[in-house]
Structure formats: structure tokens, C-alpha cells
């Protein structure tokens, strides 16, 4: 491990320890009254990963419903946020930390300065385990501050509360209710990239260059990071089972930015570095199948029925939800059972 990586590991551990008490048992927010107005909101999720930022979209939709006249600033990390949230009309400014703090120290300090100089009515840390998220809400110039630590379980079921995209919404509702702002108990919004008609039409053209027929298409994402990535042997068997049981279906592999294929590029594929172009193609397929990854969350956010494959990570925390989306523990579910799920979706005429 390089010296810089060792310093980063130490920094993360030290920061987590020093910030662990921020927001604990926070009950300092005063109740709402008739004069309370929420016009400026800060949402903090300083993590650069595609999936983690897509998982913020349910909270943003909830805020749009609760405070339709508000403007929302995002405190994030990396550059992908501008593409993810470009069609969220209430998102105003995106304050972004650089991915590499030490190499871009000037940009890092500038982001914190920009955060501090603005005035907010409400500041929200999305994930309670985020040290930078807690610090950002602590230092923000905000009237009301939600750290994500206020409640342990605010949903109808424990499993539902433990989903990383749903928990911030349930906590927001519970804290607002405690403060006298009554919320409506509806289903938590699904992930949503808010693709527009032009982006979907563009995706259709890309897909028609691969398959120009009337058959339904299943999109596959065979890659994932670390132990979440299924082996080439697993994908070879699974794809053969898919093909044998679904002979009248097109299959297209969505490739990662690394341009890696666990099927050895043996089937038609689509590659792009533009996430909205990728989502537009997926949106024109009938089913998406892929391991727990940012691409799985992108597929969910595109509106396509998504089957997420889990063997290491916990589906309760990360599974795609809503509509016909499913998180599948492949340690307990066979290939043929998964294929039956695919058939159900294909026959549903979604």
C-alpha cells in the first residue's frame, strides 16, 4: 500500500472516530410554526460512486413533493452528479468535493467554503454513517439540521427501513412530523434519473443499430467491483440457460467503463462513457439483469424492470425496489427460477 493510500485510510478512520458523536440524539430543531418557510435546502451525500448518488433520488423526489417551491443544493463528491441530476429542476447548485482530496486541495477547500457561505432553511445528511456528511450539516448555515441519527426505525417494517435509499425518506418524514409538519404516508419514490423523451428516443436508435427486429430485448450487465462480480464461468452457464429458455428474445450486454465482458464479448454489446446514453438504451429494453452495482441502480433509475443479483452484499440494503424490480440472492435461487421471473416480466406488457 502506497504512503498516500495509508494516509487516506488513517484519515478516514480518524475522521469517523472524531465525528461519531455529531448528530447523536439530535433534538434541537424547534417546531414549525405558521411562519416557517422552507425555500433553500441542502442535501449532503459526499460520495463519488454512481450508485450511491442515484440512491439519493428518492429523497429529492420526496423534497420536491413536500416543498415544491424550494431550491435544493447538493453537497457531493466527484463530477457525475451534474449528469445524474440535470433534469431535476429544483436542484440549483451542485457543490462538489474532488475525488482526490490531497491532489486537489485547493478545490477541496473551495467546496467547503462555498458550503459555508450560503444560508439554508434545511440541511440534510443523507447517510448517517458518512463522516463528511455529518460535518457538512454541522458547519452549514442552516435553520434546521437533520443528521440522519434522529430515529432508529421509522418505517412499517425493519427491512424496509434498512434500505439505504428509503431510510433517509422515512427519517425525513418522522422528523418533520415531530416538528409539526405533517407528511403523507405514501410509498417511497423509486430511483429516477428523469430521462426525457429525447434521451429515450436516442437510446432506441442506439438499440436499433444492434437489433432491428420486433423481439423484446433483455439487457445484461456482467461486471461488478470486487467480490460482487460473478465469474465468467457463472455467466457462461447463466447466459446459456437464458438463451435456451428464451429463444425469441434479444440479448445485449451493457459494458462498464472498463470495457470488460464476463461473456468475452460473445454477444452484441453497447458501450458508452455517458451515463444518460447508457440509461437511454437500458430504458428501451424489457428487462435488465445485473449484479449489485452502480449500473444496476442506473437501470432501476431508467424505469426498466431490474433484477439485481446478490451473492455477497445484502439485498435488504441495496436491492432494486418498486414495480417488478427484485433483489435476488443467487445463493438460494436457481437460474431457472430467475428465468421464470424474467418470463413473468416479459409477459406483463410493461
60-64, 105-109, 222-226, 313-317, range with the lowest pLDDT:
105-109
Look at residue 137 in the predicted model and tell me its pLDDT. 95
First to last CA, the chain: 49
Cα distance between residue 149 and residue 129, in whole Å: 9
Beta pairing partners, 219 = 252, 288
Cα–Cα dist 179/177, whole Å: 5
Q: Is the pLDDT of residue 150 over 80?
A: no
CA distance 117 to 102: 23
pLDDT, residue 184, reads 84
Q: Same topology for domains 15-178 and 197-346, yes or no?
A: yes
pLDDT at 284 over 50: yes
Q: What does the domain layout of the chain look like in residue ranges?
A: 15-178, 197-346
Output the CATH code of domain 15-178.
3.40.50.2000
104 phi, psi to nearest 5 deg: -130, 55
Examine the pLDDT at 186 and tell me if it is beyond 50. yes
pLDDT for position 11:
41
Helix (H, G, I), strand (E, B), or coil: what is residue 269? strand
* pLDDT for the residue numbered 156: 66
Which residues in 36-59 are b (16+ Cβ under 10 Å) and which e? eebebbbbbbbbbebbbbbbbbbb
Dihedral, CA of residue 273, residue 277, residue 283 and residue 289, to nearest 10: -10
* 47 touches 168 (CB < 8 A): no
Is domain 197-346 classified as CATH 3.40.50.2000?
Answer: yes
Amino acid at each position: 500500500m502506497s504512503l498516500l493510500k495509508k494516509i487516506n485510510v488513517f484519515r478516514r478512520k480518524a475522521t469517523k472516530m472524531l465525528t461519531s458523536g455529531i448528530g447523536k440524539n439530535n433534538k434541537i430543531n424547534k417546531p414549525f410554526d405558521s411562519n416557517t418557510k422552507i425555500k433553500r435546502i441542502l442535501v449532503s451525500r459526499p460520495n463519488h460512486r454512481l450508485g450511491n448518488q442515484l440512491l439519493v433520488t428518492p429523497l429529492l423526489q420526496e423534497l420536491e413533493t413536500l416543498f415544491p417551491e424550494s431550491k435544493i443544493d447538493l453537497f457531493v463528491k466527484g463530477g457525475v452528479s451534474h449528469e445524474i441530476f440535470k433534469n431535476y429542476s429544483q436542484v440549483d447548485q451542485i457543490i462538489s468535493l474532488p475525488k482526490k482530496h490531497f491532489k486537489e486541495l485547493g478545490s477541496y477547500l473551495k467546496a467547503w467554503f462555498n458550503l459555508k457561505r450560503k444560508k439554508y432553511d434545511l440541511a440534510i445528511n443523507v447517510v448517517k454513517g458518512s463522516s463528511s456528511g455529518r460535518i457538512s450539516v454541522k458547519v452549514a448555515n442552516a435553520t434546521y439540521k437533520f443528521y440522519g441519527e434522529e430515529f432508529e426505525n421509522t418505517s412499517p417494517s425493519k427491512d424496509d427501513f434498512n434500505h439505504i435509499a428509503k431510510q433517509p425518506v422515512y427519517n425525513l418524514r418522522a422528523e418533520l412530523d415531530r416538528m409539526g409538519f405533517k407528511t403523507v404516508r405514501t410509498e417511497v419514490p423509486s430511483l429516477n434519473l428523469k430521462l426525457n423523451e429525447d434521451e429515450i428516443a436516442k437510446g432506441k436508435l442506439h438499440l436499433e443499430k444492434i437489433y432491428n427486429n420486433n423481439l423484446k430485448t433483455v439487457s445484461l450487465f456482467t461486471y461488478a467491483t470486487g467480490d460482487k462480480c460473478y465469474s465468467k464461468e457463472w455467466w457462461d452457464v447463466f447466459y446459456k440457460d437464458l438463451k435456451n429458455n428464451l429463444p425469441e428474445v434479444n440479448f445485449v450486454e451493457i459494458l462498464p467503463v472498463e470495457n470488460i465482458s464476463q461473456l468475452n464479448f460473445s454477444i452484441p454489446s453497447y458501450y458508452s462513457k455517458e451515463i444518460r446514453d447508457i440509461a437511454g438504451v437500458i430504458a428501451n429494453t424489457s428487462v435488465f439483469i445485473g449484479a449489485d452495482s452502480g449500473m444496476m441502480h442506473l437501470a432501476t433509475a431508467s424505469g426498466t424492470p431490474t433484477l439485481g443479483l446478490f451473492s455477497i452484499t445484502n439485498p435488504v440494503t441495496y436491492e432494486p425496489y418498486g414495480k417488478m424490480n427484485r433483489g435476488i440472492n443467487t445463493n438460494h435461487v436457481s437460474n431457472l427460477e430467475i428465468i421464470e421471473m424474467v418470463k413473468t416480466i416479459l409477459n406483463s406488457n410493461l
